[in-house]
Structure 1
């Protein structure tokens, strides 16, 4: 029997199970805290990226205004604005047309995934045939042993 200071195996196993549960709870709490910190950090970085994007866009618009005002010194202001607008529209149209063409020509079928799935199906069929042969031979040998 167990002495007064010794514990039984059942008590030790029970204590171990409790300690494992406690460890998992603590790990889950640590994970939760860590992920909350990362979400806050990502939110701050995303806000900085958004504000930076707005400032870049605004700077680009001011740069275009400066180009228009610079051209206005050698031609009428309406002509300078028209020239800059036409240039931007032409560049934008070329980009839109090229992007549309690339999207239409894109092969949307995931070739690697389809290939991997076909291999997996073939492997499963092979495995099924192999295991059914084993079961068939095992049952025959079991019958032979019984005889």
Structure 2
């Protein structure tokens, strides 16, 4: 591995200084992660299942089961599965749960629909007692 002094100085001196400090202080991981995020956003990178699971915040087994059983998109590279930015975004959209209305809003909708159903029924549809003479006689003599 080349030492920080062997780094070419054709780059911006501030960048060279930041890289040298990162190499000496152990902050190289943060620089690599920042570069990976930039590359991810530009669409130039594919991830292994382990890296994709870390990016999505789920387990590797969940991700692979999703590919095998639930139709999660992936890039087939021989015997391995890879995930690009587009695939990760599609998986996120597949897993998105729509917001549920609050209980109060659901209760208001129920009561409004019940009121509108009762007001739509015509009065003639209500059950009426038969009015023939026989029933009247039974009611008077009964």
Which one scores higher on RCO, CA 8 angstroms, separation ≥ 6?
Answer: 2
TM range (shorter): under 0.3
The TM-score with structure 1 as length reference comes to 0.23
Which has a greater percent of strand? Answer: 2
Which has a greater percent of helix? Answer: 1
The TM-score with structure 2 as length reference comes to 0.23
